[in-house]
Amino acid sequence: MYETYYNPEIFVQTFDGIDRDKYVVATYYMDDCLPGEDFIDHFALVQAMALEGSTGTWEKVEEDTAEMRDVYSSKLVGYFEIPTDDPCRKAAMVQLAFPMAAWGNNITMMLLAIAGNCFAYSPTIRLVDVYLGKQFLDGFAGPKFGVPGIRQLLGVEKRPLSLHIIKPKMGMTPEQVADQCYQTAIGGVDMMKDDEMTSDVANCNYLDRLKAVNAALDKAEKETGKRPIYLLSITHEPEKMKERAYKAIDAGANGLLITYSAGLGALREITEDPKINVPVMLHASHMIAQMKSVSWPVNAKLCRLCGADLMLTPTMWSSIPMVSLEEGIRTSHMQLAPLGHIKPTFAMPCAGVYPGLAPILIGEYGTDLVIPAGGGMLGHPDGYTAGAKSWQQAIAGAMSDEPFVEFAKRPENKELRRAIWKWGYLERPKSPWLRVAPKFHPKHMEL
C-alpha cells in the first residue's frame, strides 16, 4: 500500500492554518549530525519526535489512525533551516503545535508533551519558546498580585524594590534570623526572603522563625512606618506545602517562597487557592539543571502562568553568569509582556549583585524589578543596616539625572559610597553597531 514518507496530518500544516486558540506551540532549536552520511533526512527525525510527544511510537499500530492523528498528534507548523557548511549536519528552528484536546489545561501533562521524551531524539535540542493558545491560557489564574499588587501592598509606585536574602542559608536560630531582618528593615529594605535552602532544622522551625521575624518587623515598623514583605519558605512535599501555607498565614505571614523543585503543578495549587492570599515568590535555582534543554524565558512564562508573583532570574552581571546577556533580559520580557488576563511577574536578576550594579540592572530590566542581595547587602563594611541603606541609595542614584558616582559622593549617601569603595561599580560596555568605527562616533561639547 502506498504511503508518504511524511505523515500529512503532521506535515501539511502552518502556524497560520491551525486554530491557534486550541494549541500550545513549542519552538525548538535542533542541531543534528550523522558523521559520514551524505543524505540527512531531518524531517524523519522531526516526525519521530512529533509523534513521541503525542500519539505515536517507533512502530505504527492498527489503532493509530489518520483520524486519531488529525485530532491528537502534534503538527509541524514551522521549519526554518539554519545553513551549515557540513553536509552531514542539519540545524533548524522547529515549531510543533500540540493540541489541547490531548490534555486540557493540565500543566504537568503539557510538559510531558513539549519537554519530555522529545529530548532523547536530538543530541542538541533546546526548547526556546512556547506559544500558549487562548483556550489553554484561560484555564489559569496567574499571579494573584503580580507587579501592580505588590506595589500596592508596599506603597511603592515606580521605583525598583530591594530585597534582603537571609544568610547563611541554614543553621541560624529564629532569633538570629529576626535580628538580621530587623537591621535591614530599619535600613529601608522593601522585602526579605528565606534562602532557597532554608528548611526546618533542629534549632529553627518555620513557624518559630515567622513568629520571631514578625515581632522584629513590628518593632521596625514602629520606628520607620514601613513594613517589608517577608517571604517565608514553605517548600516541601505538595500536600505538606499547602498545610504549611495555611498555618503560616494563620500565624501572620505576608509572603511565601516556593522553589521550582516542588514543580509547576504544586506552585499552581498554592497560588490558585483562595485561602492563600499573599504574594508567592518562585525560586528558580533548580532550573539550572535543565538550562541546556529549556530556555529561561520559557520557564519564566510557565512560572508566571502558574502564579509566581516574583521570580529569581539570571543576569550576565552576576557571580554565576549562566546565560547570555540577551537571554537574561528576554526572561524579564516574558515576565512583564502582555499575556491575556495574566498579571505581570516581577523579575529578580540575582546572584552576587552589589549596589554598584544598580545602574546596569535598572538600565537593562527597567523599573519593574526586585533586586535581591545577600552578601551584597549583609557584607557592607558598616553592617546590615548600612547595607540596606546603600541599596536604597543605589536605586535612587541609578534613577537620578546625576552621574552615579557623583550621586554617591553626596554627604547623605555615605552608605552607597562605602559600598562602592568595597565592591566597586561597573560602567556598561557599548557595542558600536550603528557607527562601527569609534572615530565616527559624534562628540559632545561640555556646557
**What is the CATH classification number for the domain harbouring 77?**
3.30.70.150
Q: Answer yes or no: do 310 and 336 share one domain.
A: yes
The reported pTM is 0.91
CB-facing half-sphere around the CA of 40: CA atoms within 13 A: 19
Q: How confident is the model at residue 175 (pLDDT cuts 50, 70, 90)?
A: very high
Q: pLDDT tens digits, residue range 424-437?
A: 998 888 887 777 77
pLDDT classification of 58: cutoffs 50, 70, 90: low
Same structural domain, 175 and 128: no
Do 129 and 211 fall within a single domain?
A: no
**CATH code of 296's domain:** 3.20.20.110
- Average pLDDT of the chain? 89
- In this structure, the answer to whether residues 250 and 315 fall within a common structural domain is yes
Same domain, 168 and 76: no
pLDDT band at 445 (very low <50, low <70, confident <90, very high): confident
pLDDT higher than 80, residue 200: no
Radius of gyration for the alpha carbons in the chain, expressed in angstroms and rounded: 25
**Residues with catalytic function:** 167, 283
Give yes or no for residue 202 having a pLDDT over 80: no
In a domain, 362, yes or no: yes
Q: How many structural domains comprise the chain?
A: 2
CA dist 177 and 168 (Å) reads 9
Q: Which three cell numbers stand for residue 78?
A: 514551522
Q: Are residues 185 and 63 in the same domain?
A: no
Helices 358-365 and 384-399 cross at an angle (nearest 10°) of: 50
Given this model, what pLDDT does residue 6 score?
87
Q: Which of 137, 164, 198 is the last residue of a domain?
A: 137
- My answer on whether 251 and 309 are in the same domain is yes
Range of the domain at 32: 12-137
Q: Report how far residue 293's alpha carbon sits from residue 178's, in angstroms, rounded to the nearest whole number.
A: 40
CA-CA distance, 387 to 223, in Å (whole number)?
18
Q: 181: which residues sit within 8 A by CB, 6+ positions away?
A: 164, 166, 192, 213, 216, 217, 220, 228, 230
Based on the domain organization, do 156 and 283 belong to the same domain? yes
Q: Is residue 446 in a domain? A: no
- One domain, residues 119 and 216: no
Q: How far apart are CA 49 and CA 42, in angstroms?
A: 11
> What integer is the mean pLDDT of 126-141?
93
Distance of CA 171 to the CA centre of its chain: 27
Q: Which region among 61-65, 209-213, 238-242, 358-362 has the lowest average model confidence (pLDDT)?
A: 61-65
Distance, in Å, from the CA atom of 149 to the CA atom of 139, rounded to the nearest integer, reads: 21
Are 328 and 415 contained in the same domain? Answer: yes
- AA letter at 57: T
pLDDT tens per residue, range 235-292: 888 888 899 999 999 999 999 999 888 788 889 999 999 999 999 999 887 777 777 8
Strands (DSSP E) found in 37-153 = 75-82, 89-99, 125-132
Burial class (CB in 10 A: 0-12, 13-18, 19+), 153: middle
Helix axes 325-336, 358-365, angle to 10 degrees: 60
Q: What is the pLDDT of residue 339?
A: 95
